[in-house]
Amino acid sequence: MPKVRTSKKRPPEGWELISPTLDDLEKKMREVENEPHEGKRKAESVWPIFRLHHQRSRYLFDLYYRRKEISRELYEYCLREGYADQNLIAKWKKAGYERLCCLRCIQVRDHNFATSCICRVPKAKLEDGKHIECIHCGCRGCASGDQ
């Protein structure tokens, strides 16, 4: 999750509509980064950062692909400046990955037995009453079959 970089180039038309939301998410990100993490596991301390990163990317994805409220030029500007994760959005466009929480959950090299994360398993295939939580991002289930 790289920092948002701003160029000297003026933002495209429509930036005024999305900038307040992106600024709020950026403020929340700063607060979470500076939050004390004593008493938490090493992985748990970055979960809020993953959630905000996902939220910011999903916001821009929905504005462009679902609601069609922003132009292609503005969408590409936001990707170039680092406001959204281009690779995560590319996965969301593919069947079966519509609800993917983060890219680490599908990287087989990060898991035992070269499989994907437990949060990718549909809830119907898990034992009843079993509480699952991803160790990488804290997700509780991002399989596309879950509703």
Q: How confident is the model at residue 1 (pLDDT cuts 50, 70, 90)?
A: low
pLDDT at 9: 81
Is 22's pLDDT higher than 80? yes
Residue-wise pLDDT for 55-69, tens only, equals 999 999 999 999 999
The rounded radius of gyration (Å) of the Cα atoms in the chain is 17
pLDDT at 106: 84
Is 38's pLDDT higher than 60? yes
3-state SS string for 98-132: CCCCCHHHHCHHHCHHHCCCHHHCCHHHCCCCCCC
Is 5's pLDDT higher than 60? yes
What is the model's pTM? 0.86
pLDDT at 52: 95
